[in-house]
Amino acid sequence: MLFKEYSYSVLIVCASEKFGKQIEEMLRGNDYYPITTVRSAGEARRMTLERTYDIIIINTPLPDEFGARLAADIACSEKSGVLLFTKSELYEDVTAKVIDFGVLTLSKPTSASLIMQSVRLLYATQERLRRVNEKNASLEERMEEIRLINHAKWVLIEFMKMSENEAHHYIEKQAMDKRKSKKEIAEIIIQTYK
């Protein structure tokens, strides 16, 4: 893929060894690594406790449960895109049960091209979510830095009897003079006076 930065891990949950192998073959060499296959919902739940997968593909029915509950649980609790396969006669009912959880559903039988289109849709969605999460983390870090600096300003106002403007300039000057970030200076001020 163009401008590829990230490889997407895949968990295939499928009782049918043949179907699982077909999906693995489609994905191999297409930016999906590692690809893990398990045969039951119980195994899938254990695997998702051990690590997070970017994309989880579930082929219903599974030997220990149908698979719709597994898909909904994973979609709610994990940061994974979920693709659920079900028989065409069950498609509408199953889709109605899982769509509100963000699970993408395909009816069987289906074509290899539709499967790859669906996986690529999950890929694109996961990439967008990953970038949004990175941006949110960056904003949260910045907000925490601002809170810390404001706390340090109030410490200076209280203990050094500075105005807010003087405290602000003091922190900026200390940061420049000591070649440290304003956050580091704020932490030092807080530790010193508290």
Assess whether the previous peptide bond of 34 is cis (omega < 30° from 0).
yes
Residue 6 pLDDT: 66
What is the full per-residue pLDDT of the chain (194 aa) written as tens digits?
444 566 789 999 999 999 999 999 888 876 788 999 999 999 999 999 999 898 999 999 999 999 999 999 998 886 888 999 999 999 999 999 999 998 999 999 998 889 988 988 888 887 787 788 788 888 889 999 999 999 999 999 999 999 999 999 999 999 999 999 999 999 999 999 87
- Max Cα distance, the chain (Å): 75
109 Cβ contact partners less than 8 Å away, ≥ 6 residues apart: 88
Q: Is the dihedral of CA 91, 93, 97, 99 positive or negative?
A: positive
